[in-house]
Amino acid sequence: MGTRDASDGRAAQPEWRVRAAELAARGVETVALTIVDNAGICRVKTFPLARLTEVAERGVGMAPCFDVYTSADRMVSSPHLGGPDGDLRLFPDPDRIVPLAAQPGWAWSPADRYEQDGRPYASCQRLFAKSAADRAAALGFTLTMGFETEWILRRPDGTCPTTGPAYGMTRVVELADYGRDLLRALTDQGVRVLQFHPEYSPGQFEISTAPADGPVAAADDLVLVRETIRAVSARHGLRASFAPTFTAGEVGNGCHLHLGLHRDGTDLHRDPRAPYGLALDAAAFLAGVLERLPALLAVGAPSPASYLRLAPSRWAGAYRCWGVENREAALRLVPGDGHAELKCFDATANPYLLAGSVITAGLAGIAEGAKLPDPVTGDPAGLADVPRLPRSLDEAVDHLTASDELREAMGEVLYGAVLAVRRAEAEDFADSDPERIAADTRWRY
């Protein structure tokens, strides 16, 4: 990753001036520049549009301590981060900046983070995702990726705005204006919606969007989709919760990661000669991910609340197995659509960190020529020989602690910060019962 200096921003000035004029013409006055921290919280700095070209050149300041913040805003420390010192520069992305349809007068951009001297910030998860994609590309592989978003709606007084049954048209009728406004806002922002439907739990809905070219675009899409849902919900007098466990003991919100592997323009999920259409490299990639799911859970299911969601027979993918169209397997292969779905992850994950970690695991699988075990049919809960994924954050953290591959890929600073936040979250909730955990995380995400 190259060092960045002000001349990079200056070189891009004509492009940024065009962007600023376009945004002004669309009524934008203020820009929200976001990062996602290691606890999965989207944090923001905002500035007036009039400063956009200056910000593109010099960045916006932000403290590095957010990478060791817990979901409850408790600052902890890692071997490298924590405390009041230091400052970073946040840079917007000219390809992603977009007016926010549900926040008139606002635009949004994800940020890359650099040190003041122009070096890439070692704990920038978006740069980590980029570097993982670059490692894949150097081996000839590209990935399509997309996250699926589930959320639960409530009125401010806590009551549920829908009465209709799971997956029922009644809920769409009850919230027809909301659904239309949401899809319109996403479409206006250039997000291609594939589906919107009511989910299982009371007041629960889901949106899936078109796969993006690569992990960074997929993670950016997810942030934009989630914050748009939050904003449209607010405009309709509703609150949206993306937390893994809204009500202890009930079906929660997943944030499944869909991915497809390609090599030199060939779709490795549609090999007509291979079993399930999976070319050797795609099978090895998925086998590598499946093998490493216990460690990946500390990245993709990073909250104590994640483990209340990750229970058998709730379509959350609590077992370390794969299956063709099997909704109880952590890895669901969808041969008809040419991709695989990782179901065990949720919205408390940092999507950049997760995408980069999954790529790391998949490339390790390719490097070792990993083979997929036999697929599982039916609910693995009834099968003796299918392993459960970790049942607690502590258990997942033990696996991440033992993963030299993820440690090396993230680098010491990012890896150390992730572990520090995980241990702090586990400690903070160690004495909480499931109801307390659900209550304390419900409105943080």
Contacts with ligand GLU, residue ranges (CB under 6 A): 150, 199, 206, 251-254, 309, 315-316, 327, 343
Query: C-beta of 254: minimal distance to Mg ion in Å?
Result: 6
Helix (H, G, I), strand (E, B) or coil at 104: coil
Q: Is 103 helix (H, G, I), strand (E, B) or coil?
A: coil
Q: Is 328 in the site for Mg ion (CB under 5 A)?
A: no
Closest CB to ligand GLU among residues 206, 440:
206
Nearby residues of 372 by Cβ (< 8 Å), 6 or more positions away: 278, 283, 286, 287, 290, 322
Q: Which stretch binds Mg ion (CB under 5 A): 42-50, 76-84, 200-208, 268-276?
A: 200-208
Among residues 37, 57, 112, 206, the one that binds Mg ion under rule CB under 5 A: 206
Binding partner of residue 252 among ligand GLU, Mg ion, none, CB under 5 to 8 Å per kind? ligand GLU
Least Å distance, CB 194 to Mg ion, is: 12
Distance separating alpha carbons of residues 350 and 338, to the nearest angstrom: 25
Neighbours of 279 (CB within 10 A): 20
**How remote is the C-alpha of 133 from its chain's centroid?**
15
Of 283 and 347, the one with the shorter C-beta distance to ligand GLU is 347
Query: Is there binding between residue 346 and Mg ion (CB under 5 A)?
Result: no
Q: Smallest gap, in angstroms, from Cβ of residue 309 to Mg ion? A: 12
Q: Is 425 one of the binding residues for Mg ion (CB under 5 A)?
A: no
- Give CA–CA dist 127/123, Å, rounded: 8
Helices 280-291 and 293-300 meet at what angle, rounded to 10? 70
* Interatomic CA distance for residues 299 and 360, integer angstroms: 12
246: partner contacted, choices Mg ion, ligand GLU, none (Cβ within 5-8 A by kind): none
Q: Which residue is nearest to ligand GLU (CB)?
A: 254
Output 206 or 291, the one with its CB closest to Mg ion: 206
Q: How far is CA 146 from CA 57, 67, 182, in A?
A: 31, 24, 18
What's the min distance (Å) between Cβ of 343 and ligand GLU? 6
In the complex, minimum distance from the CB of residue 133 to ligand GLU, in angstroms, rounded to a whole number: 25
Pairing of strands 141-154, 193-198: unpaired
Provide the binding-site residues for Mg ion, judged by CB under 5 A. 206
